[in-house]
A and B are shown apart, each in its own frame.
Chain A
Amino acid sequence: MRPVTASQTIGPFWHLLADPALADLTRFTAAGPRIALTGRVVDGDGAVISDACVEIWQATPLASPAFPGWGRCATAADGSFRFVTLAPSPTAACLAVAVLARGLVKPLWTRVYLGDPGADPLLDAVPAARRATLIATEVEPAEWRWEVRLQGDGETVFLVF
């Protein structure tokens, strides 16, 4: 077997790949109920991170030429990101998330659940006090909010596969 190539940081200048359009997964002809996911990325001091790359992948609705299923958003000066996408299937209402940035030599892998699904194999494996870090809040209809804390108080649960 060949070992997987080593990861290295995306660095501070990855914006040469950035395109605001990539944060709107409905930009083609996708039809269906839409949601927005907004949030902030903060570091161990609670300072906002303005050079992060946040990426999402959703398995439902199935990706197609009309719906890429994948999105990328550069965090703004206030650390914020915002995605617009189709609502995932209610039976598995979660998105896979990768956070990449200067100072991260490999992606931080996590998931965001759109509301508490109750019993869930991953959430049930997370210490109860940390479970809420993976669950977004619906602040307005179809408008979800979720904060990513890389370190310290309220640190987001990160995953290894």
Chain B
Amino acid sequence: MFASPSSRARWWRRLAALQAGDEAAFDHAALELFAWQFARNAPYRAWCRGAGVSEAEAVTSWQAIPAAPQELFKEKTLFCHPARAARAVYRTSGTTTGKRGLQRLLFPDLYRAAALRIAATLGPLSTTPKRLPLLCLTPSPEENPHSSLAAMLGFFIAAHGDRRRSRFFVEGDRLLFAPLAAALKKAKRGGHPIGLLGTAFSFVHFLDANLGPFRLPPGSFLLETGGFKGRSREVAKPRLYRDLAARLGLPAASLWNEYGMTELSSQAYASGPAGDHRVPPWTRVVPVDPRTGKIAPKGRKGLLRWIDLANVDGVLALETADLGLATAGNGHYQQFKLIGRLPQLPRRGCSLDAEELQS
């Protein structure tokens, strides 16, 4: 079904035609994709059976599709094709345990199409009619071919960026501060808006380097993604955004967060430090109450579970270790508030939070 470029293109056209809130069409496509993955992906099938789903036909709505946890990617090859057929292999960051998972794609076509469409409709590229220089605080896809983020930024530059003036500013493990400062100054001088894209920790390094301040031209944006992952000091999001806005002369609404997983093909975007995240019509994000395993009611926190119909080669349903809550009232689960990664539990001991020392 998804082995040839033409069949994948057909699927993409179907996804792209989905309307927000069209539950019937979404449900139909989700069950179709689930049945295919259940048949083709043995570790996922085993996981489903462990969750009490012995046959794909037993699942009659997208809400009932068993979600694979991120942990499963670290232990098994979740791929619906022969492993050697993968044209793109992305590694997860191994945030919690240090063990890294793999996302294999037969072709990166659907990932590319989804990422571009989402950024252009729900993300920062929706606000920029012309091609901007995209300054990326990450390694390039050539330097890090197993980074899904680098790949995505590469797609952005190719499709929406000013290719001549876009650049990746991480080489090896070094952030190239001097060329970055020069590019930012040039944008300021020339009055040409730019996009500045990177991970949260790269922006902390940027702030710590004391570059600027810059007053970026109107129309510029910043896109932040990912957590800190032990690679810099951690900064609370409101403070990070406030500092970045001040350093770059950008309004809060021009600061965007992209929330995605290496294990998936679609992303969610939020504007400003307190904005809700939104996903495209071919995606649902539901909070699952960890006590019951059931979808948490609106306004109640839960572990975020993704259903991503663009993720055809692995698994469409993924349970994350991130907490969030649904915020849209229509029950379509296309808008949510991201609370963040499951906090590190207190170390078991005679424990006390530093918080207790606040008078």
**A and B part of one assembly:** no
Q: B residues within 8 Å of A by Cβ?
A: none
